[in-house]
Structure formats: structure tokens, C-alpha cells
Amino acid sequence: MFLEILRRRNPEFVRAIAALHSSGDLPANCYALDLDAIAVNAAAFTSESARLGLTAFAMTKQLGRNPDVSRVLVQAGITHAVAVDLQCAIAAVSGGLAIGHIGHLVQIPRFEASIAASLSPRYWTVFNATKAQEAAAATLEYGRIQDVLLRIHAPGDRFYPGHEGGFAVKDLLAAADMVDSISGLRFAGVTTFPATLFDPESGTAQATSNRATLTRAAQLLEDAGRTDVEVNAPGTTSVSVLEELATAGATQVEPGHGLTGTTPLHAMHDLVEQPAMAYVSEISHIHNGRAYVFGGGLYVDPVLAQNPTTALIVPPGGDPLAAVALLVEMPAPQAIDYYAAIPLPDTSTAAVGDTVIFGFRAQAFVTRAQTAAIAGVTGGIPTVEGIWAADGSAPLKPSNPLTATGLSS
């Protein structure tokens, strides 16, 4: 879906990928990230958020919590991350981001609450009184008062299967009082997900009923005398939707795919954010007219439905902008993605080791891929800053066992 957009809007990044893989600097099964483009995208979020009085927390799971990207986000003014789960929070902090929001989408397991509290999150979302008590006990260990957000819902709100939970809006005032009655906690506001969704028929971002529930909840709290309420409104976040969110009363936004120009909106419109992410692999072998390409990161986020996947095969020294995009036979979603297969119109045009470049909406953290941030694309001297595992840690580089045992001279 994003391959042709990448070639059209960020051609030098595509060229850099091909050159760096051909030279051995980029491995196969790797998500390449354009640091220059991400810096521009993050700066756009910072500027517009400041204008509208919004606070932006970065969602970095989709790019594998890459520490080099985290450094650039901080430099651009996005200093805090939203953590999809505790592991995400730990990786974000290790990469140099502070924690702005934890506990949403995934609650914190009870015996891990102390670890979460040690990260000093600005906001901690709870779905029930038990989770509030656990957060309080953990926070008191560190002598802090924890600001708490409540996940809320009302009839007609939409949640992805498995994402349900939280407090009914009709019980919100009592729930806020409950939080304030617990030593170590302070009620701070409300959240939901998704507040915005892509509408494929119109090709635009549309408010969900959840967003209206947030607005209603903020009014209920104001009428009850509560002021300075935080309203956290994630979902399909690009710079283009920030003003609409602010008008609806949002105070916090959480750009994720917006930082890499890969929201569904970016597949339909040329927005301010530049495309900045691609998947890189290479041909392992050719069999029965098909090029078999190393997998490991071939998870395509289904938010755009099952669109055909295409890829570019680029020989050493070849120009990816001149390559023909070929249809890919992707592994079934229930299968382990050892390989993808590309039917070849002419087997003489591809060879083992050739670079293969994909452009799709990724979720690196659910894969066994690597991530690599590329600096210097804009200046024409691209370099790989580092290569990281999909959980944000550096991949192991095992020593040569023959050398280690003295069997090799």
C-alpha cells in the first residue's frame, strides 16, 4: 500500500535502502527508518500540538521502540512515550524517552506494578478499583503521588475485540472520587481508544462515538466542579486531525504511525508527514519461477484490509525507482513467515542476494525482525545509526564458535 508512496514522496530513502543493503550495512528482515523524515514529522507534531495546547506522547511499538528514533523524537520536542504495555515502557525508557502514559491499552499485571511505578509515569490508566489499589501501593513505595486516568465507555462505543473494559460513564463521578480516596493516587482525567478511525468509504478520519463519550465525560466532571481534567484521545493520529481533537476537548494525543507517515490517511492523501518506514529483505533462493524472500517481519497491519502486497527486487547497483513492483505471495496470517514468494516474470532478472523492498503498514514489535534507523538521507550521505531487535534491544552478535574453540586459524 505504501510502496509507491515511498518511491514518489521519499525516493532518496528508497535509494539509500537499496545501497545500504547491497553493501551489507542493512540486514535482511529489517525495518528501515528514515531519521531525517521522522525528525520533520515529529517537529510538525510538536509545533501544532503547542499551538493547540495539546501534549503529544509518542507510540513507538510499530517501529520497534528503536532507540535512535527515540533520540530524534526527544530532540524534536516529543520527550515522553505512551507504552502499550509494561515491556514497551521499559524499552522506551531504555531508549531515552520518559513515560507519559502507561496502562492503556494493556493494564499492568499485579506483581509488576512496582516496576511500572519505578518508571515514574506521568499518567497511569486503570480499568477498575483493584488496578487502582495496585497502582497506589506500588507508587507509595517510591514516595510519589500518581496521576490516574480512567478508561471510560458508554453504550455504542467501539472497541477492538479484546480491548473492552473500563468504567461506565454513568459511574464516572463515583469512580473519580474512589481514585481520590486512595492514598497515593490523584484522579487526573479520562481516556478511550479509538477516538478517531479511518473511514475507507470517504478516505477520511472520522470521530468515533468514543470521542463524543470523552467530551461528555469532561463536561460531567466540569459540572461536578473538577477542573484541569486531562482528556486522552488516541487513534489514527496525524497532524491533520489535531485541531479537530482539540475542539472536542482533547488535551493529550498519541502519534504512532503518524511519525512514520503510515496511518491509513497517508495511504489516501499527501499529508504533512513524510513516509519514513520500509521493510527490507533479500532473495534466499529461486524455485519453480518464484523468488523466495526472507521473512520474519512480514506482519501487515490489517487496518487497511487485505490489500495486495508488492515489492521491488533490486540487484546490486540497481535503481529501485526504476524497478517494477511485483505482487508478493504473502504467508498466511496463521503461518510462520519464514519466507514470502514473488512470482517472477523472468527468472533471469533476479538473483540470490538481491535486495527486496516492501512498503506496508508495520507493527514491528509483534515480529522477530530488526530495525535500523538511517541518518543523512536528506544530505545524500546515508548511514545506518544502529541495528536493533524489535523489542528495542541490540541483537546479539555471537562469536565464531570455531575461533572460540581454537579450531580455526
CATH number assigned to the domain comprising residue 307: 2.40.37.30
Position 37 in a domain:
no
* Domain membership of residue 302 as a residue range: 3-11+273-389
pTM tops 0.75, yes or no: yes
- CATH number reported for the structural domain that contains residue 154 in this entry: 3.20.20.10
Task: Examine residue 220 and state whether it is found in any structural domain, yes or no.
Answer: yes
Whether 100 and 207 map to the same domain: the answer is yes
Q: Residue 409: which pLDDT band, with cuts at 50, 70 and 90? A: very low
Residue 307 lies in a domain: yes
Q: What is the pLDDT of residue 305?
A: 64
Residues 371 and 299 in one domain: yes
The pLDDT score that the predictor gives to residue 359 is: 96
Structural contact between residues 148 and 123, judged by C-beta atoms closer than 8 angstroms: yes
Say if 24 falls within a structural domain. no
The chain-wide mean pLDDT, for the chain, equals 95
User: Hey, what's the cell of 43?
Assistant: 517537529
Whether residue 141 is contained in a domain is answered as yes
Alpha-carbon dihedral sign for residues 399, 401, 406, 407: negative
DSSP designation for 332: P
What digits encode the pLDDT tens for the residues 131-188? 999 999 999 999 999 999 999 999 999 999 999 999 999 999 999 999 999 999 999 9
Please check the confidence at residue 201 and state whether its pLDDT lies above 90.
no
Last residue of some domain: 254, 288, 307? Answer: 254
Residues 129, 231: one domain? Answer: yes
Predicted local distance difference test score (pLDDT) of residue 169: 98
Residues 289 and 382 in one domain: yes
Q: Do 114 and 238 fall within a single domain?
A: yes
Overall domain count for the chain: 2
Read off the pLDDT of residues 254-268 as tens digits, 9 standing for 90 and up: 999 999 999 999 999
> Can you tell me the distance from the alpha carbon of 83 to that of 78, in angstroms, rounded to the nearest whole number?
14
Strand 290-294 and strand 277-287: the pairing is antiparallel
Could you report the per-residue pLDDT of 380-408, keeping only the tens digit for each? Answer: 999 999 999 999 988 765 555 444 443 43
> At which of 254, 289, 312 does a domain end?
254
20 in a domain, yes or no? no
Tell whether 321 and 367 lie within a shared domain: yes
Instruction: Examine residue 154 and state whether it is found in any structural domain, yes or no.
Output: yes
Each residue's pLDDT tens digit, 237-290: 999 999 999 999 999 999 999 999 999 999 999 999 999 999 999 999 999 999
Indicate whether 298 pLDDT > 80.
Answer: yes
How confident is residue 300, by pLDDT bands cut at 50, 70 and 90?
Answer: very high
pLDDT, residue 333, reads 87
Q: Cα–Cα distance between 226 and 346 in angstroms, integer?
A: 69
Co-location of 109 and 183 in the same domain:
yes
Same domain for 117 and 242, yes or no, is: yes
CB proximity list for 48: less than 8 A, separation 6 or greater: 54, 239, 242, 243
Confidence at residue 394, expressed as pLDDT on a 0 to 100 scale: 85
Domain identity same for 217 and 311:
no
Q: Report the pLDDT value the prediction gives residue 408, as an integer from 0 to 100.
A: 37
pLDDT of residue 404: 40
| 106 burial level (CB within 10 Å; 0-12, 13-18, 19+) | middle
Average pLDDT of span 121-140: 98
385 & 240 share domain = no
DSSP per-residue codes, 262-328: -SHHHHHS--SSPP-EEEEEEEEEEETTEEEEE-S---B-GGG-SPPPEEEEE-TT--TTTSPPEE-
Rounded-to-integer distance, Cα 220 and Cα 213, Å: 10
Domain co-membership, 107 together with 250: yes
Please tell me whether residues 108 and 163 are part of one structural domain: yes
Any domain includes 277: yes
Q: Quick check: 28 pLDDT over 90?
A: yes
